[in-house]
Structure 1
Amino acid sequence: MPKRYSYITVDVFTDRAFAGNPLAVVTDASGLTPEQMQAIAAEFNYSESTFVLPPEDPSHTARVRIFTRQNEIPFAGHPNVGTAFVLGLLAERSGKTIGSPVVFEEGAGLVPVDLTRDTERRVTGATLTAPQPLTVGKTIPAAIVAECVGLEPTAVLTSRHEPISASVGLPFVIAEVADDALGAARPDARAFSDAARRFPLGTGRFSVHLYARPAGRKGQADLRARMFSPLGGTVEDPATGSANGALVALLASLEPAADAALAFNVLQGAEMGRPSLLAVSAEKRGGSIVRVRVGGRCTPVMEGALTV
């Protein structure tokens, strides 16, 4: 017999509806099979959807499974921020309290997420701590990255670092581009396929995260970014917490001092008409990245139920 499953959608990394990165959260997915979860994620057609399950360890908050339109992934940024916000919102409505940080069990490991509140103690967003240390992989020729995103090779800047794969739970190719080139980037699916064959990242997809340093500080943003993953079903993502976490961790690792801390406000999604603002920080101690955090505001948009 069909069963109803409640869901809430939220826009993540924004304080207004119809901006940021949309997320669907199925608040109690008990009884759903992985195949059903995948079908539901495809039906929502967001970059990711999450499914909340009872934790395997009762000291944790929940087990969370994350699905793109095409497959399950072990970790992602905005799904953690948005799911924590939704659980905090539901606790508020029921008059209950929820501990902070919440701790999610995921494929990449345990993900602690701190809830953020306003002066009236209402939940307004969340900040995650990345589940894995920074790992840096192979460098990718600037010409290859430029071809993937439809830019001239000279638009890819290499004075700070070559384009390189980096991960704090999910790998991305990180590349700096000129400020005036970022808005001109256009993904080429064929070039992405060729690059994925030549430089496999081990995920079945080749995701490129571009960033630029604004020539003049633009509003609240220290960095601007765009993320393209056409092979993963997301031509462009309006806000990518896992990619920006890897970016700032990489930049912190390049600091000459053994101990360093970096914090940036990253603007992403503006070119898509869905501006998102991510607060991202990384700490380095004794030459190693010890903590990466990504946070922002969330706005509820829709609620309903699925019949499966």
Structure 2
Amino acid sequence: MSRRGGGWFNIPLSGPHPAWQSAFFTSGKEALMRSFDFKQLDVFSDQPLLGNPLAVVLGAEGLTDEQMAAFARWTNLSETTFLLKPTDPRADYRVRIFTTLEELPFAGHPTLGSCHAWLESGGVAQGEEIIQECGIGLVRIRREGSGLAFTAPPLLRSGAVDPELIEQIRLGMKLGAGEILDARWVDNGPGWVALRLADRASVLRLQPDYAQLSGLKLGVVAPWDPVVDGDEAQFEVRAFVPGDGMAEDPVTGSLNAGIARWFLEEGLAPARYVVSQGTALGRKGRVSIQRLGDDIWVGGSTVTCIEGRVSL
């Protein structure tokens, strides 16, 4: 998930469009098709169908921007990634990340899913950590139990949200006066604004007016009550992305990374905690957060659901 523009590939893909159609058709000639290894994964879950799906094309050298964008549109997932040889000698691999609408410099669940696919396909890191090259630069990834974790990138924008924007969000979220306890910019690339509510039930019953929130990327977070909600997680999160090809993202690494920076810096969370996300969509996503020294690690499990080859 990310803001548009900023030099990133951003071709409109809604409806027939000659730029992506030409990726598969040439004037009077049949386009040459190539076959690539392909995986579809479920990220932030150790069970299929309960996390956030991701499509990964491996060894994607030779594909054009238009071909990548067209395939991402066709998969109709929140993100599709393409693994390539790195251009930075410090990196183990390079990834390009596409939504159905645009290319992203960074996203969380595509980072973990792409690394899982790379390792599963025989990738061997140069060092103890895996180094991913992507649009924001190099991202460190480490093994964490049966899963993986990435270092939370620095925030591009942080701090308080203008009262006028908070009021627009409050009305769009159909919240009463005073229900938003606090709001912060937690933008590490996508442009996230995060809201803090009082309890998990308040998060789960949200039914936003997406028309009022179009163009915004909003996270909502509240603590679990161990007596009412149990102790499997400490926070509930939802991510709303109206106008980005989907209304709600099932489980969101970048948002949780941004919230972690906010909460840990202001003492709103312990040094290690677990987030539940996707509950309102029938998912059971789990995101682990851990502060180690100056680093904040965002982790979770990934499971491979589909393997094969794709012709492009």
- Please state how far the C-alpha of 1:137 moved relative to its aligned partner: 4.3
25-34 or 217-226, larger mean C-alpha shift: 217-226
- After superposition, residues 67-146 of structure 1 pair within 5 angstroms as 67-91=98-122, 97-99=124-126, 100-116=128-144, 124-133=146-155, 135-141=157-163, 142-146=166-170
Greater fraction of residues in strand? 1
- Please state how far the C-alpha of 1:138 moved relative to its aligned partner: 4.5
Query: Aligned partner of 2:284: which letter?
Result: P
Matches of 2:144 and 2:204 in 1, distance apart? 32
- 1:236 matched to 2:280? The reply is no
Identity %: 32
Q: Which among 281, 296, 302 is matched to residue 300 of structure 2?
A: 296
Residue number in structure 2 paired with 1:184: 205
Q: Deviations over 1:216-262 (max 9, x none)?
A: 25241000000000122221111111101110110122239xxx972
Structure 2: any 5+ residue segments left out of the alignment? Answer: 1-31
Residue number in structure 1 paired with 2:173: 149
Query: Aligned partner of 1:102: which letter?
Result: I
Q: Which among 204, 227, 236 is matched to residue 224 of structure 1?
A: 236
Query: Aligned partner of 2:271: which letter?
Result: L
Query: Aligned partner of 2:208: which letter?
Result: P
- After superposition, residues 179-218 of structure 1 pair within 5 angstroms as 179=199, 180-193=201-214, 205-216=215-226, 218=230
Contact 2:43–2:301 under 8 Å retained in 1: yes
Matches of 1:138 and 1:67 in 2, distance apart? 30
RMSD across aligned positions (CA)? 2.1
- 1:252 matched to 2:273? The reply is no
- 1:307 matched to 2:311? The reply is yes
- Please state how far the C-alpha of 1:140 moved relative to its aligned partner: 4.0
Structure 1: any 5+ residue segments left out of the alignment? Answer: 118-123, 194-204, 285-289
Matches of 2:36 and 2:149 in 1, distance apart? 27
Residue number in structure 1 paired with 2:23: none
- 1:270 matched to 2:279? The reply is yes
- Please state how far the C-alpha of 1:209 moved relative to its aligned partner: 0.3
Contact 1:28–1:52 under 8 Å retained in 2: yes
Query: Aligned partner of 1:106: which letter?
Result: C
- After superposition, residues 21-40 of structure 1 pair within 5 angstroms as 21-40=52-71
Matches of 1:206 and 1:102 in 2, distance apart? 32
Q: Deviations over 1:43-86 (max 9, x none)?
A: 11111111111100233111111111110111111111111111
Q: Deviations over 1:8-47 (max 9, x none)?
A: 0110111100111111111111111111111111111111
Matches of 2:217 and 2:95 in 1, distance apart? 23
Q: TM-score, normalised by structure 1?
A: 0.83
Matches of 2:296 and 2:189 in 1, distance apart? 11
- Please state how far the C-alpha of 1:155 moved relative to its aligned partner: 2.5
Matches of 1:137 and 1:219 in 2, distance apart? 30
Matches of 1:190 and 1:271 in 2, distance apart? 20
- After superposition, residues 165-180 of structure 1 pair within 5 angstroms as 165-179=185-199, 180=201
Q: TM-score, normalised by structure 2?
A: 0.82
Residue number in structure 2 paired with 1:51: 82
- Count of residue correspondences: 275
Query: Aligned partner of 2:253: which letter?
Result: G
Matches of 2:175 and 2:270 in 1, distance apart? 32
